[in-house]
C-alpha cells in the first residue's frame, strides 16, 4: 500500500445542509492508504473494561495475548494456540501508572497519557475508592448506558482533562470546537439516543458529577446545563467506534504463514473451531471496544456506495482510511456509516437507520437511483435493524 501524506486531502465546506467534506488532491488507487490519523482523545467503553477486556489506557491496544483472550472468552483454560509467534502482544513491554496502576502497552503510551490528561484523571491510591468523584461518575454512567455501548462519559472526562493540563487551553478548546456542531433539536435527539427516553434526569446527574469532579474555568461553557448537553451531542455525533483484538491479529498473521496445503487446511479448520467456541460463549462481543474523536475522519461524509473504508490495522486507536476504488483529484472521499449488512438492505431500511442514528437523509447516487422504490421494510430487515440500531461509524452527514 502507498501511504498518503496529509497534504493529499483537504477539508472543504460543501454547503449549509451537508457541511464539510474531505476531498482528494491526488489520485488514489484501490488499496492505497488515503491517510492515517490518531484521535485527539480515545477511551475504552466502561462495560467493556468492567468485563475484563484489557486495553492500553492510552491507545486502546489489546493487552491480553491471543491465547489468554481465547481462554477467557471460551471459558476453556486448556486452550494452547499454535504458532504463538503470530501473536503481536508483548507483555514484557507493558507498564503501569505507578500511582493508580492502570495499564499501558508501553512506556511511551504511559508518558503520553500523563502529559496529555492522566495527571488530572489519575486516581492515585484511590482506585478502589467508590466515593472518589471520577469513580462515582463512571458508576453513574454504567447504571445509565448499558451494552451494546456506543459512547462513554469518560471520553468527555478526557476532553476536559486535556484542557485542564494544556498550556494553551484556548488552542485545545479550538480543536474540539472544530467538530460538527448540532442544533438544539439534534442535540436532544442524540442525547435521547444515548441516555434513553427520559434522558433529562440522567443528564443532570452526569452534569453534576462531571462538574464536581472536573470543573475547569477555561471551559466553563461546557459546564452549563446546555453546554454539557452540547458536549454529549458532540461525542454522540462525532465519536468513531474503535475495536482491537489480539485474536484477530493472530488469525491474520496465521493466514499469512507459508504453509503447505495440508497444513493450511488444518489451520483453517482449527481457526473455524476456535471461532465456533468463541461464538458459543462470548457471541459477538470479542473485541476491546471504545470510541475516539478524529478531526479528519469526522469530516468524511457518508455514502451507501463508499469509495473508502476505515480500518484499524495496528490493533490500536490509529485509524487508517483506505481507498476502495480509484479516486480522482477533487473527488469527495466518502465512507459508510453503516455496516455491510445494512448497506445491502433496501433504501427504506438504510434511510431509517441513518435518520435514527445520524439525523440525516442520504442523497448518495445509490439512494437517488432507488428513490422510486417502495417505502417498505421486510420483517427480516426490521428484525435485523433492531439488532443493528447502534452503528459504530460517525461523521457529519
Measured at the CA of 374, the angle between CA 371 and CA 376, to 5 degrees, comes to 120
Q: How many other C-beta atoms are found inside a 10 Å radius of the C-beta of residue 291?
A: 27
**Nearest CA among 153, 309, 302, 357 for reference residue 235:** 153
For residues 63 and 208, membership in a common domain is answered with: yes
**Nearest CA among 303, 330, 313, 181 for reference residue 256:** 313
For residues 32 and 77, membership in a common domain is answered with: no
Structure confidence at residue 131 (pLDDT): 84
For residues 223 and 113, membership in a common domain is answered with: yes
For residues 102 and 26, membership in a common domain is answered with: no
Structure confidence at residue 379 (pLDDT): 52
pTM, to two decimals: 0.89
Considering the domain boundaries, does residue 274 fall inside one? no
- Rounded Cα distance between 135 and 126, Å, is 9
CB distance 73 to 249 below 8 Å: no
Considering the domain boundaries, does residue 258 fall inside one? no
Cell reading at 10: 483537504
Q: Print the domain residue range for 152.
A: 58-240
Residues 268-322: tens digit of each pLDDT: 999 999 999 999 999 888 999 999 999 999 999 999 999 999 999 999 999 999 9
CB distance 365 to 305 below 8 Å: yes
Residues of the chain with pLDDT under 50: 1-5, 385, 387-397
Q: What element of type H or E holds 113? A: helix 107-113
Sign (positive or negative) of CA dihedral 375, 379, 381, 382: positive
Considering the domain boundaries, does residue 95 fall inside one? yes
For residues 80 and 19, membership in a common domain is answered with: no
**Nearest CA among 393, 210, 225, 221 for reference residue 319:** 393
Given 240, 255, 277, the domain boundary residue is 240
For residues 23 and 120, membership in a common domain is answered with: no
Considering the domain boundaries, does residue 214 fall inside one? yes
Q: What are phi and psi of 6, to 5 degrees?
A: -60, -30
Considering the domain boundaries, does residue 288 fall inside one? no
Cell reading at 381: 430487515
Query: Can you name the residues that pair with 309 across neighbouring β-strands?
Result: 322
Q: What is the CATH number of the domain that holds 15?
A: 2.170.270.10
For residues 196 and 63, membership in a common domain is answered with: yes
Given 219, 240, 261, the domain boundary residue is 240
- Rounded Cα distance between 8 and 27, Å, is 9
CB distance 165 to 120 below 8 Å: yes
Given 196, 217, 240, the domain boundary residue is 240
CB distance 73 to 27 below 8 Å: no
How many domains does the chain fold into? 2
Considering the domain boundaries, does residue 336 fall inside one? yes
- Rounded Cα distance between 340 and 337, Å, is 10
Residue 31 DSSP SS3: coil
Structure confidence at residue 225 (pLDDT): 93
For residues 236 and 140, membership in a common domain is answered with: yes
Query: Can you name the residues that pair with 290 across neighbouring β-strands?
Result: 44, 242
For residues 236 and 371, membership in a common domain is answered with: no
For residues 231 and 110, membership in a common domain is answered with: yes
Residue 14 DSSP SS3: strand
For residues 126 and 171, membership in a common domain is answered with: yes
Query: Can you name the residues that pair with 33 across neighbouring β-strands?
Result: 3, 322
Considering the domain boundaries, does residue 155 fall inside one? yes
Helix residue spans in 114-199 (DSSP H): 119-121, 133-144, 153-165, 169-177, 184-195
For residues 29 and 96, membership in a common domain is answered with: no
Considering the domain boundaries, does residue 298 fall inside one? yes
Amino acid at each position: 500500500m502507498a501511504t498518503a501524506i496529509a497534504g493529499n486531502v483537504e477539508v472543504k465546506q460543501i454547503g449549509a445542509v451537508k457541511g464539510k467534506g474531505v476531498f482528494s488532491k491526488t489520485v488514489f488507487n484501490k488499496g492505497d492508504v488515503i491517510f492515517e490519523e490518531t484521535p485527539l482523545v480515545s477511551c475504552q467503553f466502561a462495560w467493556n473494561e468492567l468485563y475484563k477486556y484489557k486495553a492500553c489506557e492510552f491507545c486502546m491496544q489489546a493487552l491480553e495475548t491471543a491465547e489468554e483472550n481465547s481462554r477467557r472468552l471460551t471459558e476453556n483454560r486448556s486452550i494452547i494456540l499454535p504458532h504463538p509467534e503470530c501473536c503481536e502482544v508483548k507483555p514484557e513491554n507493558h507498564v503501569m501508572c505507578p500511582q493508580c496502576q492502570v495499564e499501558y502497552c508501553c512506556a511511551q503510551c504511559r508518558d503520553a497519557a500523563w502529559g496529555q490528561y492522566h495527571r488530572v484523571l489519575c486516581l492515585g491510591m484511590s482506585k478502589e475508592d467508590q466515593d472518589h468523584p471520577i469513580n462515582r461518575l463512571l458508576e453513574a454512567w454504567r447504571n445509565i448506558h448499558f451494552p451494546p455501548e456506543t459512547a462513554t462519559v469518560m471520553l468527555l472526562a478526557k476532553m476536559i482533562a486535556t484542557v485542564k493540563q494544556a498550556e494553551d487551553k484556548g488552542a485545545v478548546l479550538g480543536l474540539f470546537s472544530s467538530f460538527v456542531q448540532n442544533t438544539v433539536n439534534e442535540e436532544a435527539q442524540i442525547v435521547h439516543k444515548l441516555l434513553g427516553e427520559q434522558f433529562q434526569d440522567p443528564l443532570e446527574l452526569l452534569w453534576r458529577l462531571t462538574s464536581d469532579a472536573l470543573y475547569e474555568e477555561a471551559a466553563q461553557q461546557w459546564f452549563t446545563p446546555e453546554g454539557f448537553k452540547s458536549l454529549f451531542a458532540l461525542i454522540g455525533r462525532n465519536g468513531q467506534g474503535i475495536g482491537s483484538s489480539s485474536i484477530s491479529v493472530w488469525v491474520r498473521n496465521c493466514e499469512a504463514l507459508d504453509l503447505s496445503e495440508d497444513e493450511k487446511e488444518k489451520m483453517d479448520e482449527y481457526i473455524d473451531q476456535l471461532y465456533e467456541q468463541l461464538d458459543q460463549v462470548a457471541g459477538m462481543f470479542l473485541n476491546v471496544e471504545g470510541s475516539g474523536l478524529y478531526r479528519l475522519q469526522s469530516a468524511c461524509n457518508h455514502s451507501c456506495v463508499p469509495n473508502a473504508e476505515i480500518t484499524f490495522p495496528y490493533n490500536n486507536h490509529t485509524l487508517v482510511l483506505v481507498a476502495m476504488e480509484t479516486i480522482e483529484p477533487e473527488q469527495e472521499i466518502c465512507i459508510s456509516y453503516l455496516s455491510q449488512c445494512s448497506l445491502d438492505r433496501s433504501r427504506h431500511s438504510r434511510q431509517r437507520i441513518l435518520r435514527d442514528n445520524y439525523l440525516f437523509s442520504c442523497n448518495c447516487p445509490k439512494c437517488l437511483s432507488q428513490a422510486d422504490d417502495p417505502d417498505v421494510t421486510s420483517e427480516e430487515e426490521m428484525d435485523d435493524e433492531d439488532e443493528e440500531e447502534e452503528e459504530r461509524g460517525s461523521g457529519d452527514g
